[in-house]
Structure 1
């Protein structure tokens, strides 16, 4: 195994540890698609990410040869690939890595070039701005405070002098959430998080992204 191949096998593809269903269907049908049709579908997908209106009959004139279900499956795959790539900065997902991952997914080279042009071309800044403006986002964690406390008296005698951890989370939308966690539960949470991180590291080392012909 070459060093380049080993590096691909040792990391997770930009589409995720599990290949999205839309991408799997695209891989199956994209070989039926000619370059002109593929570029038309790619243009529609880019238009969608720009936040512009897509006409109702946009897909009707894409191809006169392919069944509409094939056209839709290829478009869904293109859209999913762009969505996965654009959520990462161009410094996090470099162009050569993007192309290597698409090659590993068995996407024809002639289409890889078109996808790379859409993700890393002159419209990238515009696409980032449109996604930031129109995309839905969950609030971020803005501030986190915690302190320990000890219950001196309570109606539940089992909790007398039991230390607890009081936490306060302030989110970017201004919401404040306070909650209390017993030390025993905190250690349980710490163990489970550590276990999940270890499992994720093991998963990333496995070559599970190879698509069979």
Structure 2
């Protein structure tokens, strides 16, 4: 038996517009989203991004931006900018054999977004929302909830180091085969994630590539 664990942000939905608008609004920058994507794809260090744009942000100001960003990322005005990546016609093919595993501080805002995007009916009974606790958050959850998985093979579809780290659970869950697929639709370059972690994963174009494949 198999089960699929989907990440949400960057995997099920395109979050580029949300992150771009937050960055642009705070720093009052007149940049195109393509420029933001190029910088973000190459570095996750936003202070370094600013420096490459010729902006030397003071530490205090950058810390204020980070506070604003944490708040704004789960505000409806910014969440409403996200767009669906997943083809909902393909979801019916996998029936109940999947879960959405996401990290959000505001669970209510997450379920509001499902309604807003018109996908609540597909995912309402298959979501697990975790508080962000670092890059091992999802790995720790998987190990702690091993009894919930009678499945022999677990497929992880995501876009971040946190998703790729879940393969480490196989060191503990000896009876499980865990395979990770990193999508190109997220905020990070999947090849850089693999190179950094030295963990195995297959890189795919997007979530639909997996579902069709």
Shorter-chain-normalised TM-score: which range?
under 0.3
Q: Which has the larger share of strand?
A: 2
Between structures 1 and 2, the one with greater helix share: 1
Larger Rg: 1
**Structure with more relative contact order (C-alpha pairs < 8 Å, separation 6 or more):** 2
